[in-house]
């Protein structure tokens, strides 16, 4: 079980600092270990088994390491370490800042927008239009609300700080080797499926919270509420991922826009189903609504966790 004071300190630190580039980040260390393992193992025969072995070893070691470290600390040090881990695991503030920067950059020029959005998406951005840049940023913001905020906090409740850090390892594995490209399709299969499992509940919870919070941000009729819920249920199933479609469908339905379509990843064209009904121009007003959704959902989850920890 986590300590309420650790959650408060970690959350406030994230709201103030985000992820400053000058501060060493454990997720960067996770990424380096994963990249090293991938270079050594992703070749020859039995790539599926090798990828699964790497995923299992790194996941188990992460949970055991943080469990051991926290068990050896006294209460004060434990609070500090928990707060630091929570701060590192939350990615709400950083993505909001990055998405704001994308919209600001693309308003200056498409080329600047492409450069800025390349910092937060895995697709090839060299040919994206201004509309596609804004959509890519909002799509990433929606997905990040689930795997960068709600999911880490969900696993904090279930397995404490070790569970939260382990979730981040799994999520990092998926973001690095979980692609359906020729290079990673077999090697990253297990990591991608494990990521699907740990995000199953958080993704659906995120979509539900986004819908409920949207009523406060943009008052709507009962018929509009039910229409959005119906669209979330329908379009979430169209996504290639069993989870990513939920927050993306929620944001697309609330904003009345459309995500998805064909994109280039690691040199290969990947066709994503369209999420949402309306292919309309995205504006800065949509960004304001999306950020409010993120912030309010995050606040609701934090309050619920604090009540849970009492």
Backbone angles phi, psi at 275, to 5 degrees: -115, 110
* Torsion sign across C-alpha atoms 94, 264, 247, 274: positive
Find out whether 278 and 256 touch, Cβ atoms under 8 Å: yes
Percentages (nearest 5) of helix, strand, coil residues in the chain: 70, 5, 25
The structural domains of the chain, with segments of one domain joined by +, span: 4-308
Q: Is the pLDDT of residue 179 over 90?
A: no
Query: pLDDT digit string (tens) for 55-90?
Result: 999 999 999 999 999 999 998 999 999 999 999 999
Query: pLDDT digit string (tens) for 251-288?
Result: 999 999 999 876 666 566 666 788 999 889 999 999 99
Query: pLDDT digit string (tens) for 111-165?
Result: 999 999 999 887 778 888 999 999 999 999 999 999 999 999 999 999 999 999 9
Q: Which two tokens stand for residue 99?
A: 């998405």
Mean pLDDT, residues 303-310 taken together: 86
Give 222: exposed, middle or buried? Use CB within 10 Å, 0-12, 13-18, 19+: exposed
User: What is d(CA 123, CA 243) in angstroms, rounded to the nearest whole number?
Assistant: 19
Q: Which two tokens stand for residue 162?
A: 């070790």
Query: pLDDT digit string (tens) for 152-167?
Result: 999 999 999 999 999 9
Kind plus residue range of the DSSP H or E element containing 260: strand 259-265
User: What is d(CA 2, CA 86) in angstroms, rounded to the nearest whole number?
Assistant: 10
Mean pLDDT, residues 208-236 taken together: 93
DSSP 8-class letter at 274: E
Pairing of strands 268-275, 259-265: antiparallel
């Amino acid at each position: 079980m986590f300590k309420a004071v650790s959650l408060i300190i970690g959350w406030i630190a994230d709201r103030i600092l985000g992820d400053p580039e000058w501060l060493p980040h454990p997720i960067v260390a996770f990424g380096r270990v994963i990249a090293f393992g991938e270079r050594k193992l992703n070749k020859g025969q039995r790539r599926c088994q090798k990828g699964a072995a790497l995923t299992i070893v790194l996941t188990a070691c992460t949970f055991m390491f943080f469990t051991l470290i926290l068990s050896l600390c006294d209460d004060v040090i434990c609070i500090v370490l928990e707060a630091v881990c929570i701060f590192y695991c939350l990615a709400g503030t950083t993505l909001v800042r990055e998405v704001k920067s994308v919209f600001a950059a693309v308003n200056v020029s498409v080329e600047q927008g492409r450069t800025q959005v390349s910092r937060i998406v895995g697709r090839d951005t060299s040919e994206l239009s201004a509309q596609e840049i804004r959509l890519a940023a909002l799509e990433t913001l929606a997905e990040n609300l689930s795997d960068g905020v709600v999911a880490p906090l969900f696993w904090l409740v279930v397995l404490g700080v070790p569970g939260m850090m382990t979730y981040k390892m799994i999520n990092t594995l998926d973001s690095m080797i979980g692609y359906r490209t020729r290079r990673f399709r077999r090697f990253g299969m297990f990591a991608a499926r494990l990521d699907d499992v740990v995000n199953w509940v958080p993704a659906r919870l995120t979509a539900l919270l986004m819908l409920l919070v949207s009523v406060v941000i943009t008052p709507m009729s009962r018929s509009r509420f039910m229409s959005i819920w119906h669209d979330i249920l329908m379009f979430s199933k169209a996504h290639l991922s069993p989870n990513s479609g939920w927050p993306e469908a929620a944001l697309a339905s609330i904003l009345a826009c459309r995500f998805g379509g064909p994109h280039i990843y690691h040199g290969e064209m990947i066709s994503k189903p369209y999420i949402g009904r309306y292919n309309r121009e995205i504006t800065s007003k949509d960004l304001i609504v999306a950020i409010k959704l993120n912030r309010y959902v995050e606040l609701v989850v934090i309050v619920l966790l604090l009540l849970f920890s009492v």
